[in-house]
Each structure stands twice: as C-alpha cells, then as structure tokens.
Amino acid sequence: MIPSEHKIQSVSEQKIVVFTDLDGTLLDHNTYSFSPAIPALQVLAARSIPVIPVTSKTLAELRPLMSVLGLKGSAIAENGAVIKRGDDSIDCAGSRSKLLSCLANLPFEIRSAMRCFCDMSAAEIATETGLDEAEAALAAQREATEPFLWGGDETELAALADALTASDFRLTQGGRFYHIIPPRDKAAAIEVLLAQKTPRPQTWALGDGPNDTAMLLAADRGALIANPHSDAKNLLPDGHQLYLSAKTGPAGWRDAIAAFLGSDFG
Ligand SMILES: [Mg+2]
C-alpha cells in the first residue's frame, strides 16, 4: 500500500519548470511590455514553479530584465551558449578566450572582411542595431558568441565557416548579422540544466521563433506564441502536440500558461 501511495503522490507532485524565450514571447515584440503576462507569472510564483529565461540576449542584458520580471535563479543566455545556474555560477559552451583566439588566427583577408561587435564601440553597435547606447554596451558584454557584419564574398564566407568548424564553433545568420556560436543551442542548454535535477521535472517551454522550435518540441508541454513576423509555425513537424497561441507576445504567453495549468486566472 505504502509504495503505491508514494508513487501516486510523487506523480501528482512532480515539479514543473517553465523555460521561456523573451522577445516576442514573454515580452511584446515592439514595446517589450510583459503586463498581460503578470497574472500568469504571479500564479506560477505562488505555486513555486520556476520560470527560466532562454534568450539570445547576453547575461548583462538579462540581469536587469530578470529583476524587473521578478525572476530569480537559473537563466540561459546567448541562445544556449551561456548558462547561469541558481548559485550564479556560469557555464559557457566555448569560452570567450577561445573565441577571441579563433578570431585572431583567421587569415587576414577573412578577418578584415568581418566587423565584429568586439571591433565596434557601443555607439557603432547602437547605430548598426537600433539599440540605444546603454543597451548596446550591455549587448557587447558577450561570454561565448560574437555577432559580426560581413563584407566579403561567398567563397570567403565558406572558408570562414570551415575555419570556425575546425575550432568547434559554428556560423549562423540572423538578419543582417552573422553569429559565431558554439555548438550548443537552447534545447541542448536546457538538457544541461535538467541533467542535475533528480527526479527530472516536468518541462514547459514557450517561444515564438525558429530557434525556439527544438526546445518547444523537446519539452513535455510546448507553446508556440503567435508572431506574424516569424515562420516558426511552418517549420513544425506534422502531428506536433504544441499549443499554438492565438494572441502574440505576453497575452499569448498568459493564455498558454492558463491552458497548461487548466486555469484562466479569473
Ligand atoms: Mg523570440
């Protein structure tokens, strides 16, 4: 009797962890407001369900945001390359020094065709990205990835991709900027965090972009938040079980959490 009671109790009390993208998901795509999500955040906090940001932002950008959002504990930054654990220790996939020495060892023709964040002042980054200068300074405080503008040709770009792969980095393109990234994405970073948790918690994941779909599909419950600027929905496999929100940003986030909790926050 006792073992089966224990089993029932452990299932009903299985811990839940929420992993969430920020821009276009918990934060409005244009205004960065999260007010429609506040009731959902409050219910999760009251139930001691942690909310872990999983974002392309740097830790320097993330820290003040987490404080505004009332989030403490772990976080995943730079698209999975950087993990901040609850004790504030940092786990980087591919260190900054390794990335900088990889850049320093590139052939001159290739390196001179790159304009990296580390080559630019905060004012220049602000001009190129549309961030204000204070935000640009935070975006420049990178641990494990490096955005750059490319001024070379396709052959040189292919040579750059090969050189990065040889140093265990990857090349990816997002909008105007290319990015040097280590081989650890958002979904893989979540696995690193979960590997230390026994028993494994139930995972919920929310995101709006193509770089979120792997973590949404890997989670026990995933929600794709509507975003008219994203083609993530078209990238989902047939028969997926994701919740698709009707609303965008934090209103969609709130609806997804309500659906997962089976509660509508009154
Ligand atoms: Mg997003």
**Plot region of 227 (φ>0 → left; ψ -120 to 50 → alpha; else → beta):** beta
- Give the integer Cα–Cα distance in Å for 171 and 161: 6
User: How far, in Å, is the centroid of ligand 1 from the Cα of 187?
Assistant: 14
Whether residue 76 sits in one domain with residue 20: yes
Position 11 scores a pLDDT of 47
Position 86 scores a pLDDT of 92
Position 196 scores a pLDDT of 86
Position 263 scores a pLDDT of 85
List the 75-77 sheet strands across, edge first: 75-77, 82-84, 90-92
User: How far, in Å, is the centroid of ligand 1 from the Cα of 202?
Assistant: 22
Helix or strand holding residue 146 (H, E): strand 146-150
- Give the integer Cα–Cα distance in Å for 162 and 83: 26
Whether residue 169 sits in one domain with residue 204: no
Range of the domain at 121: 94-181
Whether residue 18 sits in one domain with residue 150: no
Position 10 scores a pLDDT of 47
Position 30 scores a pLDDT of 87
End position of a domain, from candidates 158, 181, 204: 181
Position 266 scores a pLDDT of 58
User: How far, in Å, is the centroid of ligand 1 from the Cα of 215?
Assistant: 12
User: How far, in Å, is the centroid of ligand 1 from the Cα of 200?
Assistant: 26
Whether residue 81 sits in one domain with residue 106: no
In a domain, 2, yes or no: no
Position 35 scores a pLDDT of 97
User: How far, in Å, is the centroid of ligand 1 from the Cα of 126?
Assistant: 20
Give the DSSP letter of residue 206. Answer: E
The CATH number covering residue 126 comes to 3.30.980.20
Give the DSSP letter of residue 119. Answer: G
Phi then psi for 100, rounded to 5 degrees? -65, -35
Give the DSSP letter of residue 106. Answer: S
User: How far, in Å, is the centroid of ligand 1 from the Cα of 119?
Assistant: 26
- Give the integer Cα–Cα distance in Å for 222 and 18: 10
pLDDT tens digits, the chain, 266 residues: what are they?
444 444 444 445 689 999 999 999 999 988 989 999 999 999 999 999 999 999 999 999 999 999 999 999 999 999 999 999 999 999 999 889 999 999 999 999 999 999 999 999 999 999 999 899 999 999 999 999 999 999 999 999 999 999 999 999 999 887 789 999 999 999 999 999 999 888 999 999 999 999 899 999 999 999 999 999 888 999 999 999 999 999 999 999 999 999 999 988 75
What type of residue sits at position 23? D
Position 12 scores a pLDDT of 54
Whether residue 226 sits in one domain with residue 198: yes
In a domain, 4, yes or no: no
User: How far, in Å, is the centroid of ligand 1 from the Cα of 145?
Assistant: 18
The runs of H, that is alpha helices, within 167-197 are 186-194
User: How far, in Å, is the centroid of ligand 1 from the Cα of 156?
Assistant: 30
Position 174 scores a pLDDT of 75
User: How far, in Å, is the centroid of ligand 1 from the Cα of 23?
Assistant: 4
241 within 8 A of 249, measured Cβ to Cβ? no
User: How far, in Å, is the centroid of ligand 1 from the Cα of 99?
Assistant: 25
User: How far, in Å, is the centroid of ligand 1 from the Cα of 180?
Assistant: 19
Asked whether the whole model's pTM tops 0.85, one would answer yes
User: How far, in Å, is the centroid of ligand 1 from the Cα of 249?
Assistant: 9
212 within 8 A of 219, measured Cβ to Cβ? no
Helix or strand holding residue 8 (H, E): helix 2-12
In a domain, 8, yes or no: no
List the 51-53 sheet strands across, edge first: 51-53, 16-20, 202-207, 221-226, 243-248
User: How far, in Å, is the centroid of ligand 1 from the Cα of 148?
Assistant: 20
| DSSP string across 13-75 | T--EEEEE-TBTTTB-TTT---GGGHHHHHHHHHTT--EEEB-SS-HHHHHHHHHHHT--S-E
The domain tally of the chain equals 2
End position of a domain, from candidates 162, 181, 200: 181
